Chains A and B, each alone.
Chain A
Amino acid sequence: MARNGLLIQYEWCTGCHACEVACKQEHNYPAGVCGIKVVEVVNAGQDKVFVDFAPFTTRFCDLCADRTKSGEEPTCVKHCQATCITYGTVAALAKEQEKMPRSSLFAPK
C-alpha cells in the first residue's frame, strides 16, 4: 500500500500553533505530547534578522487515521491558518515538492 505523508511548505508557516492544538484536540494528547511541533528559527544576517518557523511531525503523528479513513483530511491540514500543509501519498507529494521551495516532506508512519 502506498505510504502517506505530509508536505509542509514551511516558507508560509507563521508559528500560530493551530496545528499543534488541533492535533492535541483530535487525539486528546496529554501535556508534553503532540503529533506535530513548531519551532521558531531565527537567523541573524549582517543587515537583516530572519524569522521563520519549522513544523515537524513526531512519533505521535498517526496522520489522523480515523479522519482519513472517513475521507476527511488530517486536522492539522484543515486548520493550518497559513494553509501550508498538504496530505497525500509520499510519491505524489514528492512530485509536488519538486516545484516547492522551502518545504519538507514527512512520512511519519
Chain B
Amino acid sequence: MRVLGIESTAHTLGIGIAQNFPPYILANERSKYEPVTGGIHPREASRSHAENLGTVLKKALTKANITIDEIDAIAVALGPGMGPCLRVGATAARALATYYNKTLIPVNHGIAHIEIGNLLSGFEDPLIIYVSGGNTSIIAYKYGRYRVFGETQDIALGNLRDVFSREAGIAPPYIVNGSHVIDLCAQRSESKEVLDLPYIVKGQDVSYAGLLTSALKKLKEGYKLEDVCYSVVEISFSMITEVAERGLAHTRKSEVLLTGGVSASQLLDEKVKKMAESHGVKYYNVPPAYAGDNGAMIAWTGVLAYLSGVRMNPQEARIDQRWRIEEVDVPWRG
C-alpha cells in the first residue's frame, strides 16, 4: 500500500510518497520558503506553500512514477507548528482525501522525524536527539509512547543559531553551501577559546536564552565575532550533547539517533558521535534530506499508522499547533 504525505509545519512544504515494502520511499519533493530579511513570517510562508502545492504534488507523483489512483491514503502533519502553515497542508489533505476518496491519516510532525530516522538507521529503540529551528528535545520510547526526557526551557537550538546570526549581521541567508553561517564563522576563530558565557543545564533540560543574550552582549563589548561564534557553537552543542548523554545513562538505550534541521551541522555530528562512541552505543545521523522537514517522513509515518488502523474523518482533521509527541499513541511499536 502507498501513502502520500504532506508536510507544511514551518518553512518547508514537503510532499513525499512511501510504501510498505522496499524501496519504502518513492518520492520526497519540497519547496522551501526563504525570507529575504528577518526570520520566518508565518503568513508569508503559508502563502508560499499554497502557491507551490500544486507543483510539488505533481513533482512527487512524477518522481514516484505513479498516478493518484495508486495512492491508498493521504497523511498530513497536523502539528506542532505554525498555524497558517499547518492550515495549508491540512486543507490540501482534506481536499485530496475527500475528492479522490482516500483514507486520511493524521501524523505528528515530531514522531515523523523519529520514524523516518528509525527506517533509515534500522534502529529499533534509539534515544533520539531532535534539534531544529523549533525543537530541542531528547526523546525515547517507553510504555506505548515517545517520551520527552529533556528539552529546552526556552528557545530551540536552531532558533539560537538563527537569531544570533541575524543579530550579528551574518544572516540571512542562514545556510551557505549546506552549512549554517554560525558554524562557518566559528571555524574561522583563530583562538578556539571558549569565552565566559552561561552554560545552563538543569537536570535533563537546557536553556539557551541566557546564552543568546550574553553572546550578543559580548559582541557589543568588542569581542571578535569569530570567537563569539565559536563559543556559542561549542557551548550550545556541548549542552545538548551532555543532556543526551544523561538521557542515555537514564534510559540505558543502546542506539542514538540525531535528527532535525540542526543535525546537518558537522560540528554537532562530531560531538554526538564522540559521545556515543565513549559509551559504546550505535550512532546514526539522519541525512539532511530526511532530517530537515520533509514530506517523505510524513508519508512513511502514515504507512505505519495506516497499517495500525489509525484513521481520521476529514471533518475532524483540525490542526494542533502545540501537539506534543507524548500525547500520541504509537501502536506500531512495542
To the question of whether A and B form a pair in one complex, the answer is no
Binding site for B on A (CB under 8 A): none
